[in-house]
Amino acid sequence: MSITYPKFLDPKQTQHYAFSHVELVAHIVLDGLKLNSAFFAQYPHVLYKQDEWNTQYKLFQRKHRDRNAQALVKLCEDVRSKKLLSLDEFYSRFNVLLNPKRGKALKAQKRRNAGMLGAIESAGDEAVNNRELFKAIYRYAVSVSHSGATTATLDMALSDIIKEHHNHPLSNSQRNALFKRLQQKIVEMEQQLSDIEARLLKSRIKGKADKVAFNAYTLYGVIKLHAAVGDTVGMSQEGWAASVPFGEKAIQPALNLLVKLKVLEVIEKAKATSFAGKATIYKRLV
């Protein structure tokens, strides 16, 4: 059979991302395609999209009741295990899955070709006008900031948010715009506080704010006023207490937590002086 122009090379991406992933794998395994700088210079969208293609393929792997999805997964596995020997063999199966003739598979593919959950590029670059969807995306961004969530986790969460708050199919451009909006909001939130500060503020004990962590957050702010990263700082309990809105008894647990979190390092343990009382010298690490 004659091999048509590979659709994964089309910047407009007129097929489901999972199909682009499998087609790319086939060209690498069966045709020796090299993903080098020369290739990416000619097809830069592949460099930027391949992670998203892989994410969508992984979603297909979990669709155990979707025969078409499982057939695509099986095709990819056969390619990787080299049960197929040529692109001719690959496309003879791939094109059937890409263009089913009838039945449920055709209906499912039509949904994908309509852009369900950001699968394809059919509706152009028009903006999504859904305030509730944006609010839900922002709420999720706030909740997940400073958590180290992976791209795959964010992608799956966005799919759930879209499913819950948006009733119409989305094109790839629309979904990509929403994903970028999500990522941008996370970046904005993470710029407000350091990871350590966020961790202290988010710390909970039985659903309530951890008092020691909250005190440590306040104390950390005081430390930043007195010492840069790498500098040392030391005060008596009275000195610390004069700088924060809580008593002397709460100082040491807060300092101990900062040491445990590797924010501070004990350089010199407390030594008694006739004037300042007991003071421990700390080095600021973060």
Q: What is the pLDDT of residues 110-149, one digit of tens each?
A: 554 444 344 333 333 345 778 889 889 999 998 899 888 8
Helix (H) or strand (E) holding 204: strand 204-205
Q: At a CB cut-off of 8 Å and minimum separation 6, what does 241 contact?
A: 247, 248, 251
* Predicted confidence band of residue 25 (pLDDT cuts 50, 70, 90): very high
What average pLDDT does the chain have? 83
**pLDDT above 80 for 4:** no
Check residue 7 and give its pLDDT: 87
- What's the CA gap between 118 and 54, in Å, rounded? 14
Per-residue tokens: 46: 């592949």
* % of residues, the chain, pLDDT over 70: 86
* pLDDT attached to residue 162: 92
| 272 bridge partner residues | 278
Give pTM, 2 decimals: 0.47
How do residues 209-268 score in pLDDT, each as one tens digit? 899 999 999 999 999 988 999 999 988 888 888 889 888 899 999 999 999 999 999 998
